[in-house]
């Protein structure tokens, strides 16, 4: 079935974004085929939802080509770090250790795309003073990714304090009526803070792409001027 898979190698040109391979629910054979295809084309590729056990089962020749991170479950194939980075324009804000994997997926995707970020992980609504201490710094970022599970109150609080683009990433953290992230998703969508935007539950890759689209419109505007 090797010849049936056709990757969208033109996407970077069209969108400024690379195609990512969502590894969940793909068989080992399918992943091997995709990696071979990418290697043949000599392009780079981002893999998401790559579980440590799946990574461990890969052929050594494949594993050696990957820059793998088990917390975010992401891998870079054929990736070369950018020589120089702009100062970070994207803040990734989360409440603590439960949302770490999703926040890490955001940051790893942005690093892959070449955007530098700054992480704020002690920003929880239940301990409001920690958030208040960082507000002034957060207001300087043009783009904020707010990672929040359970009751999803963080985006509403940020949305009333921060003027930049705010992208809410609800997470499946929690139990009972958290409903696998649905409550955090709905709370972000129903927020009375004006102008929040939201991505799918646990979609760290998508939140990163949305943030990257936002910094890209700055870059394009600035380039037009200079």
* Range 172-211, binding its own copies (CB under 8 A): 172-203, 205-206, 208-210
**What is the side-by-side order of every strand in the sheet holding 20-22?**
20-22, 45-48, 74-77, 66-69
Q: Which of residues 73-132 bind its own copies (CB under 8 A)?
A: 95-98, 100, 119, 121-122, 124-128, 130, 132
> Distance between CA atoms of 113 and 81, rounded to whole angstroms?
9
CB nearer its own copies, residue 66 or residue 188:
188
30, 36, 78, 116: which one binds its own copies (CB under 8 A): 30
The least distance separating its own copies from the CB of residue 196, rounded to whole angstroms, comes to: 7
The least distance separating its own copies from the CB of residue 74, rounded to whole angstroms, comes to: 14
Q: At residue 165, what are phi and psi to the nearest 5 degrees?
A: -70, 130
CB nearer its own copies, residue 45 or residue 199:
199
> Distance between CA atoms of 180 and 202, rounded to whole angstroms?
10
CB nearer its own copies, residue 60 or residue 225:
225
91, 93, 110, 166: which one binds its own copies (CB under 8 A): 166
6, 42, 53, 136: which one binds its own copies (CB under 8 A): 6
Q: Which of residues 36-55 bind its own copies (CB under 8 A)?
A: none
Q: With contact defined as beta carbons under 8 Å apart, do 112 and 79 qualify?
A: yes
152 binds its own copies (CB under 8 A): yes
> Distance between CA atoms of 175 and 221, rounded to whole angstroms?
44
Q: Which of residues 130-149 bind its own copies (CB under 8 A)?
A: 130, 132, 142-143
CB nearer its own copies, residue 5 or residue 64:
5
> Distance between CA atoms of 123 and 115, rounded to whole angstroms?
22
According to DSSP, residue 170 is labeled: E
CB nearer its own copies, residue 14 or residue 60:
14
> Distance between CA atoms of 131 and 201, rounded to whole angstroms?
23
> Distance between CA atoms of 199 and 167, rounded to whole angstroms?
7
Alpha helix stretches (DSSP H) within 26-127: 28-41, 52-57, 60-63, 100-113
The least distance separating its own copies from the CB of residue 193, rounded to whole angstroms, comes to: 4
């Amino acid at each position: 079935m090797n010849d049936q898979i056709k990757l969208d190698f033109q996407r970077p040109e069209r969108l400024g974004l690379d195609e990512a391979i969502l590894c969940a629910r793909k068989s080992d054979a399918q992943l091997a085929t995709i990696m071979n295809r990418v290697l043949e084309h000599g392009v780079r590729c981002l893999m998401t939802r790559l579980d440590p056990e799946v990574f461990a089962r890969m052929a050594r020749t494949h594993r050696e080509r990957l820059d793998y991170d088990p917390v975010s479950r992401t891998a870079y194939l054929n990736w070369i770090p950018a020589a120089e980075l702009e100062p970070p324009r994207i803040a990734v804000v989360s409440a603590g250790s439960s949302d770490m994997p999703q926040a890490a997926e955001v940051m790893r995707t942005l690093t892959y795309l070449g955007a530098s970020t700054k992480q704020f992980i002690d920003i929880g609504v239940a301990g409001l003073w920690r958030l208040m201490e960082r507000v002034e710094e957060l207001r300087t970022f043009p783009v904020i990714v707010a990672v929040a599970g359970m009751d999803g109150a963080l985006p509403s609080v940020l949305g009333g304090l921060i003027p930049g683009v705010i992208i809410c990433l609800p997470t499946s953290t929690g139990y009972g009526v958290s409903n696998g992230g649905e409550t955090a998703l709905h709370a972000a969508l129903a927020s009375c803070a004006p102008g929040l935007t939201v991505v799918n539950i646990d979609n760290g890759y998508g939140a990163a792409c949305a943030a990257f689209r936002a910094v890209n419109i700055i870059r394009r505007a600035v380039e037009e001027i200079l």
